[in-house]
Amino acid sequence: MSESYFVLTDDDPGMKEPERFAELLDFLKVQEVPATFFVVPFAGDLALDQKPEWVALLQRALEEGHELQHHGWTHNTPFEFGVPPYFMLDIIPDAKTRWHDDPAPIQATHSYQTLRDKLMRGREILERTFGYTPRGFRSPCLGVCDNLYTALHDLGFEWSTNQVINPLGWRYINRDYDYGEPWATDFPSRPFRHSSGVVEAPMHSEYTWFLETGDVDRHFALARADFDRARRQGQPFIALSHYYAMTGQWATGLRLYERLFDYARAQGDVHFVTLGQLLARQPV
């Protein structure tokens, strides 16, 4: 079988519990696995460059071969840049009710200029904090709309990663183990050119959301099956995670990834790369 790629992505650095993020960095250093971190620029009404503990940890991440990309503005609403997918709304029932009962006020926050301004302000913070311009974007709660993609293109973002190939990870979060939802078929299960011109790199699923010990075998089986299917089809495997949901008392998530990394290595000719490295090696 030809070579394949494994990409670990992780969301929300810059928000809370930096000690949990440090735990993930320690784990990845031992595993020798790079990650793509999607960083929140202005969480808790404070710009990232005004959070010295976070700046030090994220500088460490860069020095250890990880990648930092753009993750929204404040991340204080599921609707910050668009409407989350249906399976995400199913695990945020209050947001689902708001959207279904009165969508107009939510849609009003998704004008092109509003989204462009948030992207610009967030990018400026990341630029002055780290000295480089992020080229990738992931939306909080995966909420997207057409104006978001247009704004990303117009601002020179090269890629985003908001589409989900296998919604079952979110069904598992709700303990809907028998849902049986198939892989998405309305977009390719590999990086592709979005109609806006931005490259979209769809992720497979989330596997480590606040797992308990008894969850690990079932969730590992889901992740392994997704990895195997992607590998058989000659496609990269892209996983989503959240550092605070897989460390500390929830470090069962790290044990799952330890098993998954070992399994991937055992298949032979599997490369662990950041998302930016993947797209450089496999241009669309």
155-165 pLDDT per residue, tens: 999 999 999 99
Tens of pLDDT, residues 203-212: 999 999 999 9
Position 1 confidence tier, pLDDT thresholds 50, 70, 90: low
Q: Cβ of 251: how many Cβ atoms within 10 Å? A: 16
**pLDDT at residue 269 in the model:** 94
Distance of CA 33 to the CA centre of its chain: 16
**First-to-final CA distance of the chain:** 22
Report the b/e string of 89-109 with b at 16+ CB within 10 A.
Answer: bbbeeebbebbeeeeeebeee
What is the Cα–Cα distance from 47 to 214, expressed in whole angstroms?
Answer: 39
Average pLDDT value for residue range 85-95: 96
Give the model confidence (pLDDT) of 4-61 as tens digits. 999 999 999 999 999 999 999 999 999 999 999 999 999 999 999 999 999 999 999 9
Quote the pLDDT of residue 79.
Answer: 98
- State pLDDT tens for residues 170-196: 999 999 999 888 999 999 999 999 999
pLDDT band with cut points at 50, 70 and 90 for residue 3: confident
Instruction: Look at residue 69 and give its three-state secondary structure.
Output: strand
Integer Cα distance of 136 and 83 in angstroms: 19
Determine if the pTM surpasses 0.75.
yes
Q: What is the mean pLDDT of the chain?
A: 97
Mean pLDDT over residues 241-245, rounded? 98
